[in-house]
Structure 1
Amino acid sequence: MHIRDVLRGKIPEDLLRLVPSSFDIIGSRERAVAIVELDDALLPYKELVADAIFEVHKNVRAVYRKASERKGEYRVRELELIKGENITEVAHMEHGYKIKLDVTKVYFSPREATERQRIASQVKPGETVMVMFAGVGPFAIAIAKKQPAVGKIIAIEINPDAYSYMVENIKINKVEHLVYPVLGDVKIEAPRFFNQCDRVVMPLPKGAYLFLDEAVNCLKETGGWIHFYHWSREEDLFTEAFRLVSEVARKRGFTAELRGARKVSPYAPRIYKVAVDVLLTK
């Protein structure tokens, strides 16, 4: 059953098409919160929308509305509690590991669980992997769990709240021997790891290209992989993303080869978050 079915007859018929077909549910089967984006026309009926979500998703304890875009250095947004318990901290379960977080203090997307698994499945035994913009640690932990023979995972995060949760999540998932968390700005912290990595993951679509110099410099002298994320228009999803990586790679004497490209998620009308997997060789 969809929440639109529950709302039929409770809100004006012409507004049913505005009811979101998908929204984030963060947490576990026992306790979760829902975060929904509502058209202004639906705001007078927001509590009815929340009731419909409670009815369809029995594990949801609170329904929040997105009250702003993601903003600031930490990429967090304002949330308005529409209805339910005043809880913001949850333990999110995906693919057998647990991610603890506060939805008001950190960036986290449950919709990218499949993408995290896609990246983790490419990591080889013994590799040194860097995860930039690591957040509460979902990519790093996904890799550690999927490839327990990985050499080391360096996870850099600038948001102190997200970093604290990442440290806790590393312990919760018992991967302290694999994941090395770093608090700070990638521009400042990444140079400590120049020429050490086999693979760099850059899961920040807004502005990740500004850190490509650091990412390429972190790769070993023989090269390695860059997993680069970018916002692209529907008519040409991957050309710009690959070009950005290629230009930086060429400056350091690498040849760039596009080995994979994926549309990860919609961002705005005709604009998508995309991922390109680029192999750099000498």
Structure 2
Amino acid sequence: MLFQPKLFHLHRSCIYYTARGKSSKMNSISPPEAVKGMKEWRPELFNKKVQLPCLRVKSEHVSSLKAPLKNFVFKMPNLSNVQPAEMSENATDVGGDKLIILSPQTVKSFSDLSTVKEHLDKISVKDENFCLKDFTLTSDNWNPNDKLKHILPDGEDVSGFSRIGHIIHLNLKDYTEPYKNVIGHVLMELPGIKTVVAKTSNIDNTYRNFELEVLAGEKDFEVTVKENGNTFSFDFSKVYWNPRLSTEHERIVKMLKSDSILFDACAGVGPFAIPAARKCRVFANDLNPESYKWLQYNAKKNKIREDRINCCNLDARDFIKQVFLQEFLAMYKEENSQDRDIHITMNLPALAVTLIDVFQGLLWNDREKISGNEFPLPILHVYTFSKAEDPHKDVLQRVEEYLGITLDTVHLKEIAFVRSVAPNKDMYRASVKIPAEVLLRDLSKRKLAENSIDEKNKKLKE
């Protein structure tokens, strides 16, 4: 049928607009006022009778009017704007006519079609072919964005949700909490969605996962997603995954060369480690046993060679003190070891900065094995949040505090913005070539942060 809206495209647009609080312009008829403030899903409240302008034409002429009427036809989900015309009592042409439904905003009468009169005259379509017809709209005739726009309080929207496989994950705000049942049912209409969840707590436990409340759909948390050409499977309720970090994952991998080596201290299910292992040697670690399980699974699923990736299930500090140190000392014995390109990622933004003091004195006990400072300086990529007015200064101060040194322009590679997390809260990456002075520091002279780690961690989580 001609002029039929492409519903899949419309739904994809809905994800974009809803996430940003913008209104869809696909249809111009609002739902009934009765839907405003709905807190329990009642789709029958969307039922609405409307009168729409139509043109009655012979079926063989519909295709010739497609281009001339493209700016006049009515577009609304699940409502074909070309329909069979009802037969009148005196009609002799059985089933030969069609009704083209027109937009009530642009067409009030036949005279509003004057700009296409030449095309209508050719097929003898005149004023008597114009009519107003009653239609009944239902919940299916509005896309999810329009539904939520008219249900929620004026000026409010559903923002900050992510799609992870068949799951939509919401961060409910205080004003949306009473509407969560309705929001869940509406978002279930998006293609391929089986489950809508909201987190019930912040990420404040050891394993970086959070409790989930199922708002609608199945209690099925095992998903498969694609990112940067790789496939990742995991149980979303037991591990951490953020689809908004795909660009940052790709950015770090592009820094690596074929002879680089990456130590991913907080690897999760592998979004840094798996693509990196296609380029270079990788040691990947996560404390969460579930993340470790899926990390191994994803390495096999993506056919990563066993000699390219080693997976560990350790605390990040222990990973640095054991695995990294052992490999680092082994590399030092190699010819031209000072030229090795070594990277360390620590993507645990609420806590990672407090962990980097592990590098203070890391080589102290092995100092006799190292001649002078002729050894490769690893590049640390550590992630953190900032709410400061000058976030670059804030991030730098905290990195310097936990490394116990003032960084010069040689060792500070960059402080890069990663993404906005919430109003006045952004995520940053500090990339630092760890100074030899830090690595060789006398353990008895380690410089501790001004505040205790527990106090610092509490502050970072706020």
TM over 0.5: yes
Shift of 1:140: 0.5
Q: Which has the higher strand share?
A: 1
Aligned to 1:91: 224
- Distance in 1 between residues matched to 2:152 and 2:238, nearest whole Å: 35
Aligned to 1:129: 262
Match of 1:168 among 294, 297, 322: 297
Aligned to 2:316: 186
Secondary structure of 2:214's counterpart equals strand
Higher mean displacement: 117-126 or 266-275 = 266-275
Contact 2:163–2:169 (Cα < 8 Å) also in 1: yes
Change (3 A) 1:125 1:250: farther
Aligned to 2:171: 37
Match of 1:103 among 191, 216, 236: 236
Q: Say whether residues 1:23 and 2:161 are aligned partners.
A: yes
Aligned to 2:102: none
Change (3 A) 1:240 1:159: same
Query: Pairwise mapping of residues 261-276 of structure 1 onto structure 2 (< 5 A)?
Result: 261-276=415-430
Change (3 A) 1:280 1:191: closer
- Distance in 1 between residues matched to 2:403 and 2:203, nearest whole Å: 30
Change (3 A) 1:255 1:244: farther
Q: Say whether residues 1:8 and 2:8 are aligned partners.
A: no
Aligned to 2:24: none
- Distance in 2 between residues matched to 1:178 and 1:78, nearest whole Å: 34
TM-score where L is the length of structure 1: 0.85
- Distance in 1 between residues matched to 2:258 and 2:236, nearest whole Å: 33
Shift of 1:261: 2.5
Match of 1:59 among 192, 203, 218: 192
- Distance in 1 between residues matched to 2:409 and 2:179, nearest whole Å: 55
- Distance in 1 between residues matched to 2:342 and 2:292, nearest whole Å: 23
Contact 2:288–2:313 (Cα < 8 Å) also in 1: yes
- Distance in 1 between residues matched to 2:320 and 2:146, nearest whole Å: 50
Match of 2:214 among 52, 75, 81: 81
- Distance in 2 between residues matched to 1:52 and 1:123, nearest whole Å: 43
- Distance in 2 between residues matched to 1:13 and 1:233, nearest whole Å: 29
Contact 1:200–1:227 (Cα < 8 Å) also in 2: yes
Secondary structure of 1:166's counterpart equals helix
Q: Deviations over 1:150-184 (max 9, x none)?
A: 1x211111111111011101110111331211111
AA matched with 1:105: K
Change (3 A) 1:214 1:221: farther
Aligned to 2:396: 242
Higher mean displacement: 193-202 or 87-96 = 193-202
AA matched with 1:97: N
Higher mean displacement: 113-122 or 234-243 = 234-243
Q: Say whether residues 1:177 and 2:314 are aligned partners.
A: no
Shift of 1:144: 2.1
Change (3 A) 1:214 1:155: farther
Aligned to 2:245: 112
Secondary structure of 1:204's counterpart equals coil
Shift of 1:103: 1.1
Secondary structure of 2:220's counterpart equals coil
Contact 1:250–1:256 (Cα < 8 Å) also in 2: no
- Distance in 2 between residues matched to 1:93 and 1:46, nearest whole Å: 28
Contact 1:249–1:255 (Cα < 8 Å) also in 2: no
Q: Say whether residues 1:210 and 2:351 are aligned partners.
A: no
Aligned to 1:69: 202
Change (3 A) 1:43 1:232: closer
Structure 2, unaligned stretches of length 5 or more? 1-13, 19-144, 332-340, 364-373, 437-462
Shift of 1:122: 0.2
Aligned to 2:272: 139
TM-score where L is the length of structure 2: 0.54
AA matched with 2:149: R
Structure 1, unaligned stretches of length 5 or more? none
Q: Deviations over 1:95-136 (max 9, x none)?
A: 111111111111111110110000000011211210111111
Change (3 A) 1:190 1:63: same
Greater Cα radius of gyration, structure 1 or 2:
2
Change (3 A) 1:281 1:84: same
- Distance in 2 between residues matched to 1:21 and 1:99, nearest whole Å: 25
Secondary structure of 2:421's counterpart equals strand
- Distance in 1 between residues matched to 2:292 and 2:396, nearest whole Å: 30
